[in-house]
C-alpha cells in the first residue's frame, strides 16, 4: 500500500529483529501504524506475530528501531514505552486473581508522570483516572461485571478485561494479541465493531488474531508475516487475494508439524490454518 495513501505515521518499526538462540523469530520487520489506523497482523502459527508485539512493547531484546510519534523507543524499557503511549494485551490474558475488573483498570490508569503533575493542578488526578476507567469499561461493555473477579467470568470476557485494562492507560497505540480468542463468531464480530469505534475515536491499534474474517473486516491495512518476515501488506481486499498469503496459510499444516518436532514449547489451541 503506497505510504501516501496511509494516514500520517504514528508508530514505525524499521528492521525489527528478534532471535532466540538459533531461531530467527522476527526478521527485519518494517511496519507502520498511522494515526487513527487499525492495522492487522496475521500469519500462520509460529510466524512471529507475538514476538513482534513483544519487541515493540520492549518485552524482548530486539534489533532495529521502534519509533513512536517521532520518539525513538528502541533502547527504552517496557514501562518507559508504556509511559510513552504503548499498551498491549497478552495472549494468555495475565489477570490478577485478587483484583476486580474495575481494579485492573484502575491500576493501569494510575500512571504517574511529569505531565500528571501539571494536569493535577487543573484536573484532579482521581477524577481523570475515574473517567479513563469508566470509559474503558464501557467501551468493552464490562460495566455490569466491573465488581466481579475475572476468574468468575468466561474466558472470552476475560480477554475483554485485558483490552479494557490496556485502554484505561489511555494509550496512543493499543497492541492487541488475539483479543477475540474465546469469543464465538457473533461475539467476535461485535468485538470488531467496538474496536473500530475505539480507533475511530482516536486510539490507533495493531490487531493480531487468528480470526482472519475479523481482521479483514475491521482493519485499514493488514500485514502478513511468515517465518518472521513480512510477505505482503496492504488493504484487506488486496491481501485477501494475494497468492503468497494463500500459500502461507494453505502450506501451514506441513510446516506446523515440522515446527512441532523442533519446538519444545507447548502449542496453544488456536488454529493457524483458517482463511477467509
- Residue pair 3/203 in contact by the 8 Å Cβ criterion: no
Q: Which is nearer to ligand ATP, 49 or 88 (CB)?
A: 49
- Residue pair 223/55 in contact by the 8 Å Cβ criterion: no
Find the shortest distance in angstroms from Cβ 51 to ligand ATP.
3
Find the shortest distance in angstroms from Cβ 25 to ligand ATP.
3
Q: Which is nearer to ligand ATP, 242 or 268 (CB)?
A: 268
Of 46-54, 66-74, 96-104, 189-197, which part binds ligand ATP (CB under 6 A)? 46-54
Of 28-36, 48-56, 78-86, 231-239, which part binds ligand ATP (CB under 6 A)? 48-56
For 271, the enclosing helix (H) or strand (E) is none
Find the shortest distance in angstroms from Cβ 271 to ligand ATP.
9
Size of the site for ligand ATP (CB under 6 A): 15
- Residue pair 125/119 in contact by the 8 Å Cβ criterion: yes
- Residue pair 11/41 in contact by the 8 Å Cβ criterion: no
Of 47-55, 72-80, 160-168, 180-188, which part binds ligand ATP (CB under 6 A)? 47-55
Of 32-40, 109-117, 129-137, 265-273, which part binds ligand ATP (CB under 6 A)? 265-273
Binding of ligand ATP by 265 (CB under 6 A):
yes
Cβ neighbours of residue 253 closer than 8 Å, sequence gap 6 or more: 273
Cβ neighbours of residue 109 closer than 8 Å, sequence gap 6 or more: 129, 132, 133, 136, 168, 169, 170
Rounded alpha-carbon distances, angstroms, from residue 222 to 5, 32, 215: 14, 10, 8
Binding of ligand ATP by 50 (CB under 6 A):
yes
Site string for ligand ATP, 1-30 (x = CB under 6 A): -------------------x--x-x-----
Binding of ligand ATP by 46 (CB under 6 A):
yes
Binding of ligand ATP by 94 (CB under 6 A):
no
Binding of ligand ATP by 47 (CB under 6 A):
yes
- Considering only residues 224 to 263 of the shown chain, the ones binding ligand ATP according to CB under 6 A are 263
Distance CA 21, CA 58 (A): 18
The Cβ-side half-sphere exposure at 174, using a 13 Å CA radius, reads: 28
Angle between helices 125-139 and 185-200 (to 10 degrees): 140
- Residue pair 32/223 in contact by the 8 Å Cβ criterion: no
Q: Please report, as ranges, the residues that interact with ligand ATP according to CB under 6 A.
A: 20, 23, 25, 43, 45-51, 263, 265, 268, 272
Amino acid at each position: 500500500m503506497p505510504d501516501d495513501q496511509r494516514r500520517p505515521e504514528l508508530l514505525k518499526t524499521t528492521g525489527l529483529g528478534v532471535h532466540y538462540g538459533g531461531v530467527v523469530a522476527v526478521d527485519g520487520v518494517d511496519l507502520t501504524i498511522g494515526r487513527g489506523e487499525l492495522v492487522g497482523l496475521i500469519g500462520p502459527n509460529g510466524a512471529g506475530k507475538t514476538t513482534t508485539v513483544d519487541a515493540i512493547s520492549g518485552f524482548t531484546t530486539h534489533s532495529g528501531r521502534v519509533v513512536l510519534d517521532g520518539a525513538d523507543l528502541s533502547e527504552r524499557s517496557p514501562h518507559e514505552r508504556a509511559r510513552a503511549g504503548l499498551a498491549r494485551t497478552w495472549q494468555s490474558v495475565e489477570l490478577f486473581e485478587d483484583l476486580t475488573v474495575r481494579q485492573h483498570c484502575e491500576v493501569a490508569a494510575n500512571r504517574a508522570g511529569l505531565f500528571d503533575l501539571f494536569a493535577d493542578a487543573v484536573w484532579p488526578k482521581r477524577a481523570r483516572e475515574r473517567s479513563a476507567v469508566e470509559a474503558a469499561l464501557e467501551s468493552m461493555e464490562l460495566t455490569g461485571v466491573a465488581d466481579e473477579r475475572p476468574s468468575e467470568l468466561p474466558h472470552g470476557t476475560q480477554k475483554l478485561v485485558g483490552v479494557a485494562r490496556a485502554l484505561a492507560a489511555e494509550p496512543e497505540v493499543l497492541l492487541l494479541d488475539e483479543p477475540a480468542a474465546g469469543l464465538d463468531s457473533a461475539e467476535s464480530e461485535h468485538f470488531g465493531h467496538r474496536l473500530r469505534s475505539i480507533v475511530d475515536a482516536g486510539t490507533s491499534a495493531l490487531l493480531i488474531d487468528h480470526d482472519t474474517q475479523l481482521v479483514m473486516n475491521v482493519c485499514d491495512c493488514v500485514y502478513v508475516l511468515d517465518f518472521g518476515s513480512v510477505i505482503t501488506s496492504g488493504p484487506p481486499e488486496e491481501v485477501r487475494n494475494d497468492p503468497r498469503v494463500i500459500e502461507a496459510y494453505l502450506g501451514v499444516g506441513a510446516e506446523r508439524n515440522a515446527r512441532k518436532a523442533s519446538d519444545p514449547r507447548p502449542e496453544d489451541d488456536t488454529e493457524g490454518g483458517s482463511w477467509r
